[in-house]
Amino acid sequence: MVGVKDPETIAEHSWRTPVIGSVLAMMEGADAGRVALLCTFHDSQETRVGDIPWVGRRYLQAADNRQVTADQLADAHPAVAAGIAEAVDEYERGETLEAQVAHDADRLECMIQGLEYLEQGYANAQEWVDSTRAKLKTASAVALGDASQGLSSTEWQRTFLRG
């Protein structure tokens, strides 16, 4: 949608989201391990259905992520299947603090990716950044999202590491 030549991969997003989620969890007083687990499996269904852009979703009937997960785990060890299915269900319901933080980690990672695209010269990413920023809910995600705007990726890294 933004016209990026080499966009972020699912693997990159799937790595950065649990890292961001762990940081947000520590800031919000949530269980960082649980948030990291939810973030790790939040998009695992994309190995089956792909990453459908939001603009295309209105034309498709999306499969329920819990059902995709159940299909993926059909032959897994019962404890593994139960643990991952429970994590995906918690994330999808979004009722716990950990699920809310995990959702914000997903959004914040997308926002930061949009900021990186802006830094690379893709001006169309601004709408993506703005719409994603508007969806942040936790105080920590809002604070980090706001702090990240207007900084280059190297400035952001130095600022974040200094605290």
In a domain, 51, yes or no: yes
Identify the residue whose tokens are 């259905």: 49
Least confident of 70-79, 80-89, 127-136: 70-79
In a domain, 127, yes or no: yes
pLDDT at 11: 82
Domain count, the chain: 1
In a domain, 96, yes or no: yes
Burial of 118 (0-12, 13-18, 19+ CB in 10 A): middle
What's the pLDDT band for 79 if we cut at 50, 70, 90? very high
In a domain, 88, yes or no: yes
What's the pLDDT band for 101 if we cut at 50, 70, 90? very high
Residue 59 has pLDDT above 80, yes or no: no
In a domain, 141, yes or no: yes
What's the pLDDT band for 7 if we cut at 50, 70, 90? confident
Mean pLDDT of 145-162: 77
In a domain, 3, yes or no: no
What's the chain's Rg over C-alpha atoms? 16
Residue 143 has pLDDT above 60, yes or no: yes
Residue 47 has pLDDT above 60, yes or no: no
In a domain, 29, yes or no: yes
Indicate whether this model's pTM tops 0.75: yes
Residue type at 157 in one-letter notation: Q
DSSP class of residue 43 equals T
In a domain, 1, yes or no: no
Name the residue range of residue 143's domain.
10-162
Q: What is the CATH number of the domain that holds 36?
A: 1.10.3210.10
